[in-house]
Every structure is written in structure tokens, then in C-alpha cells.
């Protein structure tokens, strides 16, 4: 029978250090501070903004019409702006519009295009399907901008913070060449705040991908002062090329881009991990076997 020897001091210290390191690394995610605002509260309230066509008779008129509106709930106020409209209106009896829209709905921000066909009379000549197809298939540029102004965040000067969110390209986008721009900007009273890479605006184009999978985005910054309010602006523009998009019907809007899973939180400093490791070592040393 082999004799059982108590662990040596060197062996115990080695195992102690390995265990402490493992605990410190595994506990790092737990040290991540909670978001200063929940994602569901951030994307609140639900409302949609889209340009509306005129009342004059037109035949497939592509315009840069724009609409903008603001609405608040709790500590959050959203301002949506959507630009881009295609309209046909005939004899005051048929009105068909394909319009860009920006919407906060559920736990996300959505940019897209919707089709609305209104028939005020009888389609005696059977022209509605043709007109609808002409409007839905017209090549029209689109532009979207939505800014959330959030109050009572209570950021501390000089502290490193991280803004994270997911960006999903809509299933109706057939080619990333559709996007002219896609940006995120963090604002302090309308003035951009630069991130740790000295960027005032984060270019999202290189992060986008087809397939409908969310792509994580992070923007780290040092608070330039004690801040209570911040603005979070999301923007995108698309080319006037209908071939880069899928079909558009009045029952199936075109989904261009979605922003979801928002968070803003302080970033734990490396010293926090060191203190956690030292604390674990101190606890384990008090529990070491007798005589070791």
C-alpha cells in the first residue's frame, strides 16, 4: 500500500495560485456592472414615423419627402426621422405610397419601408395591381435617423464606459452595397463624444452582414465630465437601387436594419480583477491544511 503524504508547502502554493487565477478569470463577467438602463426601457416608447404623400394627382413620383417626430416615456425621448417616398395618385380614387419609416417597437429600433394602397372608389380598369407594382419596384433612396435622449444616467468623470448593442441587417436586403452609410454617434448636449480610438462617429458598415444574424457593436468612452443626460444617434442611408432589395407588399414591409439588445455600463478596471484574485488567495490561505 502506498503511503499518503500531506501536500508540500510548494505544492499547495502552486495549486492555490492556479485555483485563485481560475476563480478570478471565471468571475470576471460577474464583475461587469449592470447596465445603467435596461434595453426594454431604452427602446421605449413604441411609435413610428413615415412621410406622407400629397393630395395632387401624380404618376409614380419619387421624392425626398421627410417626416420627423419626437415622443418620450420615463427617462427616454426618441426622435425619429425618415426620408424617402414613392407615390402615385390617380383621380383621387387610388393612392399608393411606398415610404421609409423609423420605428421603436418592442425591444428594438427598426428602419424599413412600407407600402400602403388606398382605394377610394372601384378599380374599373384593373390598374391597381400595375400601379402598385410600379410604386413598390421604383428605385428610391432612403435615409433614417433616430436619436434617443436618456436622462438620469449619472456618469462619473474619467470613468470608462461601454455602450453595446446588436445590429441586424434586414432579410429584405439582398446586397450590402445597398447601404451608403450606417453610423452610431454618442452625444453630450448635441456634441459628439469620442471613443477610446478617438472616433467621434462609429462607422457600422464594416460590421454589417447578410443573413439576419445580429452583429455585436461596442463603443467605449471616458466620460468627459459628470453627465446625467446622453444622446444615442443611429443613422443609415441606402442607394436608389430597387434590385438590391426583395419584394415589398402592403402586408409585408421591407426590413432594412434593426438595433436591439442595448446596454451602457462602466467597464471594470484591471485593478478590480487583481483585488478579487488577492481576496480569493487570502481566503484559501486561511483554509490551508495544518502544517502547510
* Cα–Cα distance for residue pair 47/103, rounded to 1 Å: 6
**Ramachandran angles phi, psi of 46, nearest 5°:** -75, 125
Residue 165 has pLDDT above 50, yes or no: yes
* Cα–Cα distance for residue pair 27/1, rounded to 1 Å: 41
**Ramachandran angles phi, psi of 149, nearest 5°:** -100, 120
* Cα–Cα distance for residue pair 76/240, rounded to 1 Å: 33
Query: Using one digit for the tens of pLDDT, what is the confidence trace for 24-36?
Result: 444 444 445 688 9
Residue 283 has pLDDT above 70, yes or no: no
Residues 6 or more apart from 163 whose CB is under 8 A from it? 186, 218, 219, 220, 221, 232, 262, 263, 264
The pTM is what? 0.82
* Cα–Cα distance for residue pair 63/102, rounded to 1 Å: 17
- Grid cell listed for 188: 453630450
Residues 6 or more apart from 280 whose CB is under 8 A from it? 19, 20, 23, 24
Average pLDDT over the chain, rounded to an integer: 84
| Rama region for 211: left / alpha / beta (φ>0; ψ in -120 to 50; rest) | left
- Give the largest CA-CA distance in the chain: 103
Cβ(174)–Cβ(245) under 8 Å? yes
* Cα–Cα distance for residue pair 143/81, rounded to 1 Å: 8
Q: Identify the pLDDT of residue 32.
A: 52
End-to-end CA gap in the chain = 24
* Cα–Cα distance for residue pair 54/48, rounded to 1 Å: 19
Residue 11 has pLDDT above 90, yes or no: no
247: confidence class by pLDDT, cuts 50, 70, 90: confident
Strand partners, 165: 217
Amino acid at each position: 500500500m502506498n503511503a499518503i503524504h500531506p501536500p508540500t508547502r510548494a505544492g499547495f502554493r502552486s495549486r492555490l495560485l492556479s485555483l485563485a487565477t481560475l476563480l478570478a478569470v471565471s468571475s470576471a463577467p460577474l464583475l461587469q456592472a449592470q447596465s445603467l438602463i435596461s434595453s426594454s426601457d431604452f427602446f421605449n416608447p413604441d411609435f413610428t414615423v413615415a412621410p406622407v404623400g400629397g393630395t395632387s394627382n401624380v404618376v409614380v413620383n419619387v421624392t425626398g419627402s421627410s417626416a420627423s417626430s419626437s415622443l418620450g416615456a420615463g427617462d427616454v425621448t426618441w426622435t425619429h426621422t425618415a426620408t424617402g417616398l414613392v407615390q402615385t395618385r390617380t383621380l383621387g380614387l387610388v393612392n399608393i405610397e411606398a415610404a421609409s419609416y423609423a420605428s421603436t417597437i418592442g425591444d428594438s429600433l427598426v428602419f424599413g419601408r412600407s407600402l400602403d394602397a388606398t382605394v377610394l372608389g372601384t378599380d374599373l380598369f384593373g390598374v391597381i395591381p400595375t400601379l402598385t407594382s410600379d410604386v413598390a419596384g421604383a428605385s428610391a433612396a432612403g435615409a433614417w435617423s433616430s436619436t434617443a435622449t436618456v436622462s438620469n444616467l449619472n456618469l462619473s468623470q474619467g470613468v470608462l464606459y461601454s455602450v453595446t448593442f446588436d445590429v441586424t441587417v434586414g432579410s429584405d436586403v439582398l446586397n450590402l452595397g445597398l447601404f451608403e452609410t450606417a453610423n452610431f454617434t454618442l452625444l453630450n448636449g448635441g456634441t459628439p463624444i469620442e471613443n477610446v480610438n478617438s472616433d467621434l462617429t462609429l462607422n457600422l458598415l464594416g460590421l454589417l452582414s447578410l443573413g439576419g444574424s445580429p452583429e455585436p457593436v461596442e463603443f467605449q468612452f471616458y466620460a468627459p465630465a459628470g453627465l446625467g443626460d446622453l444622446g444615442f444617434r443611429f443613422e443609415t442611408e441606402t442607394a436608389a437601387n430597387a434590385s438590391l432589395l426583395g419584394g415589398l407588399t402592403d402586408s409585408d414591409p421591407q426590413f432594412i436594419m434593426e438595433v436591439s439588445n442595448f446596454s451602457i455600463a462602466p467597464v471594470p478596471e484591471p485593478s478590480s480583477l487583481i483585488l478579487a484574485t488577492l481576496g480569493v488567495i487570502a481566503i484559501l490561505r486561511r483554509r490551508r491544511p495544518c502544517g502547510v
